[in-house]
Structure 1
C-alpha cells in the first residue's frame, strides 16, 4: 500500500512540470488594483498600473482609465483618457493593451467620411506593436499608404477583377489578404503616430467605398495569442460596413520619468521580476521598466504581493512534500523504484524533445531542404546546420538588446559564435509557410559574390526557423543615404562605387550564376554596407531561380512601392528587366538623395522615378541632383549616370539595358572618374596656378555626354571609356 502511494505521488510530480504556464486570463482571480481603488468598469477588470479616478490608483496620467457610456451600449466601457481610445483588453504579462482604433473609410455612404485618419499617441509610454498588428487595406484597385512624421513608412496594393468589394464569396480565412480585394503589410518599429491614406491606381480619387486600418493580428490570424479564438474576425468584408473602429494592440512600459517623478514604486518581492525595457526607444537604450510574475505564479506583477502561487503549483508542492515524507519511511526497494521512474522520465523527456525537434524540422521545410541538398541545389560545403543551443548562446537567448532590425519576414539579431565570429541571426515570421525561408537558404548557398551577403547556415529544430548570415555592421544604404553622417559623408565617389558594385552583383545573378536568379526586391534598404562601406545585396526571400530557357516568371505581384516595375505590375510577368527598373530607382536615389516615395503635402506623394524622368525630359536634371553630387562630380560623368538611370526606368522593358550593359558603362564612368581625380591631385601639386573647371551653369544637359555601346579612348591610352555625345 505504501509503495503504491509513493508511486502515485512520484507520477504526479513527474507529470505536473510539463503543464503549460498560466495565462493572463487568471489575473482576475488575484489582486489586480491598488488597495481601496475601484477596479471594475462595466464587465472589465482594470489592472494596475492602469486605474480610475484617484491619481494613486494609476501609475501616471497616461494610464488613467475613464469609464463612460457610449451611444451604442448600455454598459459603461473603459477608455484611455490620455488618448480617448476604447480599451478591449489588458495583457500585463505581454505588456500589451488592446484598443479600438479608427478606420479610414473614404467614399463610404453610411458614414460619409473622407477625412484622413490621423493618430498620435503623444510621445507617451505607448506604441503600436509591430509583432501583434498588421496594416490592412480593403478595396478595389487602390494604393494604401501609412505615413509617419512626414515619411511614407509602409503601403500595399489591393486589386479587384470585378470592381465589386461586396463579393460575398470572398472569405478572408480561405483566400487570405494577398492583394485581391485586400492587402496587408507589417508596421515599422516604434510607430507612435501615423496617418492612413488611400488613392486610386489610375488617379488620386477613390471610386468605391474602401478601408485602411491597423488591425490586431489575433483578429486576422489564429496565432496562439488567445487560445480561445479559433475563428476569423473579418471572415467577410461586409462586416467593415458597420465598423468605425477595429481592435489594435499597443505595447507599453513604465517610463523612467514616471518612476523619478512619482511616489509610485515597482515591487521588489521574490515572486515578480521587473527589468529594463526599450519599448519606446528608437536608439536601443533603456527607456522604462516592465514586470512579470515568475513561473508558477500569477496575478499583477506591478503591485507588491500581486503575484500569488497558482493552485496547480501549490498542489504540486504539497504533493512533493508528502511524497518526500512517505519516501523516507519506505523501503530501499521503493527508493530504487523511484530512481528507476526518474530515469524513465528523463528518457521519455529526451524522446519528447527529440520528437519535437523532428516535428519542427519537418514543419520548417527540413525534408524539402534535404531533397534540394541531395539534388545539388544547396552548396553544403559553405553552410552549417546550427543547433538551437548554439544560437541561443550566440544571441544571449535572443535578447531584445541584440535586435538589429525587424521587417516583414522576421527579426534579425546580432550574435557571436563560440569561435568569436560575429553573425546576424534572422528569426522568421513564417506563420506555417516556409517557402521564403527555404528559397532564401537555397539561393544564397549557391551564390559566391563579394557584393552579396553570405549565408553561413540555418537552424530548423525550433518552432520558428532561423538563418545565420555574415554580420554587416554599417546598416543599409537607405539609412546611410537619407540620414547622412557628417563624419563619413556620402561622397560622389562612394555613390558611384556603390552603384557600380551593386550593378555587378545583379549582372552576376542574371548572367554568371549557374542558373539565372531574379532578385525581385531591389531597393536601398536591401543593400547593406560592410565595415569599409562596400555594398552587399541582401534579402532573397522572394527571389527565384529561373531556367536558362525561360524569358519571364509569372507570379502574384510582389514588391515595394517606388521600386516596382510598372510593366510587371500590369502583366504579372517578372523579367530580368524588372530588376533593371528597380536598380534604376536606386541609381536615381544615389544621384538625387531623395526617397523613392516622398510626401509633398495634403496627402499627396511624389514618385521619384516619374519625377526623375520628367526632369530629364524637360532639361531640368540639375534641379533634382543632390548638391553634394553637383559639387564633387564632373558634369559629364553625372549626366552619363543620369542618362543610364533614365534608360533603366523605361516603361517598356525591352528598351531597358541589361545588367551587363549597365555594369560595363558604370565601370567605364568610374574608371574615368578615378583617372580624372588622379590627374587633378597631380595638377594641384605640380601646377597650382592651373585654371579651374568651368562652372556648372555654363553647361547644358542637352549637350552632355551619354554612355553607349561603342568604345572610344582618351588621350591616355591606358584608360578606356565608353562615351558618345548625346
Structure 2
C-alpha cells in the first residue's frame, strides 16, 4: 500500500510540473508583465503565475521603490536585485551583496573568516564576462574556493605598507585596485556556490592602534572596480555591486548535445526551444553530466528562441559595420549575398575588391575558362619554354606525369582533394586535384593562385603552375618529399622529431607567417595554420602550405569580417565570436601548434580526464606549476630549459583577446632568441642583428612568473577556449 501511495505522489508531482510548464508556455505570450521599471522581463522569466518557466519567477516591487525594482529570489531564498536580463547570452545581471568581515575582540584569535556566496536553482556564476573577486582591506588575503573538493579557484592579497592612516593610501588614489588597500582577481570556473575565505596576514602582531587591520569588505563583481581609498577609509563600503549570473533550463533528461573537441554536434531542439529557427545546447554541471540546456537562435537569426516565432532573420545589409559589403547587398533568410555591381568582378566583401576587368571564371555550356589577369602573359608562352619559366600546364602533361592520375601516384588525400606525385620535364611536382565541383572549390583555387603567385619565401611552398582544361583547375607545386609535420609528430612509439628539429621548425613557420603578415606586397592572413598544413623537405625544413582559405587585406587595414573558416582546435575564439579576421587569428593557431609540438598531443581528438581540450588543459597545468606533467617525455630528455620559454610564449599566443597576443614578428624574434641560445643557427641562417638581446626579448612576452600567476585568473577560461572548437569548419 505504501509503495502505491509513493507512486501516486510521484505521478501527481510529475503531472503538476507538466501543468506548470504548460501554463508557463501559455503565459509566454500576451497578458504577462514584460517590464519592471526600466528592466525588460522576457520569457522564460516572468512575474505573474503562469508567465514564467518553473524556477524563473521574479518579483516586481512597486510599493517600496520608485521606479519599480525587479528582484530574483533564488532557491535558497536569497533576494537579488535584477539589473539586466540577456536572452542571447543566457545571463542575468544582479546586485551582489557585500561580504563584510570584521575581526572583533571576541574572535581576535581567528586568522581565517569563512563566508559563502551562493545562488541556487537554474543559476550559476557566469563566464561571459568572468566575474572578479575584489578585496578592500589591509594585510589580508581573499581565497575563493568551489566545486565538490572546495578547490582554490582565485586569490589575491591587499596590503597597506604603513599602519599610519594618514600615509598608507598615498599614491593609491588613482582608482586602481592593484594590491595597496585593494586587490582583485578573476574567477575562472563557473559554480553556483563559492566559499570566500578572508585570511588575516598580520595576526596578533598588529598594534592595537592600527586603524584598519583585518576589517573591510569583499565583493564578487563583473566590472572594473573603482577604488577610492579615502572613502573606504571612512567605512563607506557599497552594500552591493553588479555581478553576472548564467542560467539554463533544468532538465536532467536532456538529450541536447554538448560542445566537443572533435566536431560540432548536429543541431538539436528541446521542448523550450519553441521558435522555428532555434536549437538547444546542453549544459553540464561540474561533474560533466548534462543537467539542462540553453536555447539559441540559429545562425543568421536573432531574438528569443524560447517563444514561438521568437527568432527572426537578421538583415545583415542594414549593419554594414558588422557584415561588410562593398557591392550590392541582398538579404536572404539566415544570411545575405554580397556581389559586385553588374559589369564588375571580384570580391565585394573587401574595399576596392570589385574591378571592371573580367577576372574570374566564365562558365558556358558546361566548360570552364579561367581568365586571370596576372596569368595572361603565361598563356602566350610557348610549350617549348623551360618548365620553370611558365605558369600554364596542359592536362596532357599532367596525365602523362601521373600515369593518368593512377592511384599508386597518390601521396595525400584530404577532405577537399587528392595530391599526386608526378614528373614534368625532369621536375618532381605535386599536383592537387579537387574531389568535387562546387563554387567554393573554384573560389579557393583562384584565391590560392592569386596569393602564391605573389609570395616568395623559403618557408612557403612554391606554386609552379596550373592547368585550366578541367572542370575544376589543377594546381602544380614543388614536391615536398617528407610529408607533413603532423605525420612526423604523431607517430606510434615514444620517439618522434627531436626537440632541436621541433624548435627549429617553429622558428621557420614563425618566419613565414611574419613575412606574410608584414613583408609581403599586401598583408596575407593564412587562416588555417595547423601541423597538417606544414610540409617538411628532405632536410626537415618547414614549408607552409594550403592557402585556399587565406585572405589578402589592404595595407591600411587591421582586419576584415569574413565567413568563419579554419580547423577545430586551432580556430581563434575571438574570430569565431565576431567573424573578424586579424593577424592575431594566425597567432592563436600558431600558439596551438607550439603546444602540439611540446606535448605531441592533438588539438583535435585528444581529450583529458577533466574534459578539457589541449589549449585549456595546457593553460591549467601550466598555471598549477605542473607543465612537465604534459610535456612529451622525449622533449623533457632533450630540453635545456627552452621548453618552459616556448610554453610561456604559447600561452601568450593563445590569450582569449587578440589584442593581448604578441604579433608574429614578436613571436619570430622571441623564438629566434630561444633557438640561438641553443646554437641552432650557427650556420648563419640567423644574424645577430635580427636577434634581440635578453632584455629586449623579455618585452615580447610575459615572464614565466607573470604567466603562472595570471593564468589562474585571466579571462581565458575553459568555456572560452572551447568556443574555438565548438564547430567544425
TM-score range, shorter chain: 0.3 to 0.5
Higher helix share: 1
TM-score (norm 1): 0.45
